[in-house]
Amino acid sequence: MARVFNFSAGPAVLPEAVLAQARDEMLDWHGSGMSVMEMSHRGKEFESIIAEAEADLRELMAIPANYKVLFLQGGATLQFAMVPANLMRDAKRADYVHTGEWAKKAISEAKKYGAVNIAATAEDRNFSYAPAQSAMKLDPSAAYVHVTTNETIGGVEYHWIPETGSVPLVADMSSHILSRPVDVSRYGVIYAGAQKNIGPAGLTIVIVRDDLIGHALPGTPTMLDYKQMADNGSMLNTPPTYAVYIAGLVFKWLKALGGLDRMAQINREKAALIYDLIDSGSFFTNPVAKTDRSLMNIPFRLKDDALDDAFLKQAKGAGLIQLKGHRSVGGMRASIYNAMPREGVEALVAFMREFERSHG
């Protein structure tokens, strides 16, 4: 059976080259006589895998030496709790920018640990834009400022970095990490669930500055303490070993491609194909302010919602799947992460053109 073009928001498409290598190494990793899934996480084989994955990620993102890279579990959703548990300290308050569904979930969890100041919100325009720096009412005594830099559901992306002064900036980058270069030094914490743009579900990447480690609130469970995880090399317990292995292969795939500068160019070109079609007429619409449109998650609607089912059915018949929008917003959504080849985007655009011709 031929592979489809999978536009799922997550778990999402992986590079075919990575899948092929994982297939070839499934029964015997580098002459070890066993699968990565069978390895002890304390053995020299897996220790080399996780060390190399970290080294490659550090190289790709130019992560400074005073940051720890943690390979954790629980998804970005667990970080909604881990961030305040580790960073709120004595301040017991933090600033959050409300940009949509995922920011909303992070805010709700943070309120269990202290006071949350909504420094800015896009609710006035149904979360269709990223609030400007001038709209942010920041508390200089806050423990940190939290932003969701790409809203997977709403398709809103920050293409700039908020200024927060001496207050650490924390970013949920789950759905666009590694899609372009980022100045890690501008952030106190960056976290991301792997299942969108890194690898399989089950792995979470946390990049945290050294001075923010070791201040967990009293009563914080050991497994949620950044210091405990950092001191134990992300292996306080058994990590998601196979997911780390696949992530490592993805990092090498990105390096071979030319790194994040090249990946950013490819992603801009892919997204432009879809946005240009949407903007060329009135059959398809995108609700997001043009300056804040995501290059990873593109929501769009048809001129008549009654056509949605036909669009999805015919798209599936053409080998284009997982295009249904999130249940909270409806419509369609094309997630075109790093691993989505240009050919997949071209196939989608061609299908959209033909569907408009037939139903316009």
Give a yes or no: residue 314 inside a domain. yes
Query: Where does a domain end: 256, 280, 312?
Result: 256
d(CA 182, CA 159): 10
Q: Examine the domain organization and report whether 287 and 304 are in the same domain.
A: yes
Q: Examine the domain organization and report whether 252 and 263 are in the same domain.
A: no
Q: Examine the domain organization and report whether 157 and 265 are in the same domain.
A: no
Give a yes or no: residue 20 inside a domain. no
pLDDT of residue 329: 85
pLDDT of residue 53: 98
d(CA 263, CA 270): 11
Give a yes or no: residue 200 inside a domain. yes
* CATH number of the structural domain spanning residue 347: 3.90.1150.10
d(CA 68, CA 209): 6
Please give the tally of structural domains in the chain: 2
| From 29, 56, 68, 102, active-site residue | 102
Per-residue pLDDT of the chain (360 residues; tens, 9 = 90+): 689 999 999 999 999 999 999 999 999 999 999 999 999 999 999 999 999 999 999 999 999 999 999 999 999 999 999 999 999 988 899 999 999 999 999 999 999 999 999 999 999 999 999 999 999 999 999 999 999 999 999 999 999 999 999 999 999 999 999 999 999 999 999 999 999 999 999 999 999 999 999 999 999 999 999 999 999 999 999 999 999 999 999 999 999 999 999 999 999 999 999 999 999 999 999 999 999 999 999 999 999 999 999 999 999 999 999 999 988 788 999 999 999 999 999 999 999 999 999 997
Buried b (16+ CB within 10 A) or exposed e, 43-62: eebbeebbeebbebbbebbe
Give a yes or no: residue 78 inside a domain. yes
pLDDT of residue 1: 61
Q: Is 160 a catalytic residue?
A: no
Give a yes or no: residue 183 inside a domain. yes
Give a yes or no: residue 321 inside a domain. yes
Q: Is 196 a catalytic residue?
A: yes
* CATH number of the structural domain spanning residue 217: 3.40.640.10
Which bin fits 95, alpha (ψ -120 to 50), beta or left (φ > 0)?
A: beta
Q: Examine the domain organization and report whether 268 and 187 are in the same domain.
A: no
Q: Examine the domain organization and report whether 270 and 252 are in the same domain.
A: no
Q: What is the CA radius of gyration of the chain?
A: 21
Q: Examine the domain organization and report whether 252 and 270 are in the same domain.
A: no
d(CA 13, CA 320): 12
Q: Which amino acid is at 106?
A: A
What are the tokens at 24? 């070839």
Buried b (16+ CB within 10 A) or exposed e, 241-261: bbbbbbbbbbbbbbeeeebbe
Q: Examine the domain organization and report whether 147 and 177 are in the same domain.
A: yes
**Do 335 and 12 contact (CB within 8 A), yes or no?**
yes
pLDDT of residue 326: 87
**Do 53 and 191 contact (CB within 8 A), yes or no?**
no
Q: Examine the domain organization and report whether 161 and 283 are in the same domain.
A: no
Domain enclosing residue 69, as ranges: 25-256
Give a yes or no: residue 280 inside a domain. yes
Give a yes or no: residue 324 inside a domain. yes
| From 56, 68, 95, 172, active-site residue | 172
Query: Where does a domain end: 204, 232, 256?
Result: 256
Q: Examine the domain organization and report whether 76 and 180 are in the same domain.
A: yes
Q: Examine the domain organization and report whether 231 and 298 are in the same domain.
A: no
Q: Is 102 a catalytic residue?
A: yes
Smallest CA-to-CA distance from 61 within 233, 219, 272, 251 is with 251
Query: Where does a domain end: 233, 256, 279?
Result: 256
Question: 344 to each of 318, 340, 349, 355, how far by Cα in Å?
Answer: 11, 6, 9, 16
Residues 6+ apart with CB under 8 A from 60: 178, 251, 254, 255, 259, 260
Q: Examine the domain organization and report whether 270 and 196 are in the same domain.
A: no
Angle between helices 259-279 and 342-359 (to 10 degrees): 0
Q: Examine the domain organization and report whether 271 and 348 are in the same domain.
A: yes
| From 29, 95, 196, 225, active-site residue | 196
pLDDT of residue 20: 97
d(CA 196, CA 183): 21
- What is the value of pTM for the model shown? 0.97
pLDDT of residue 287: 95
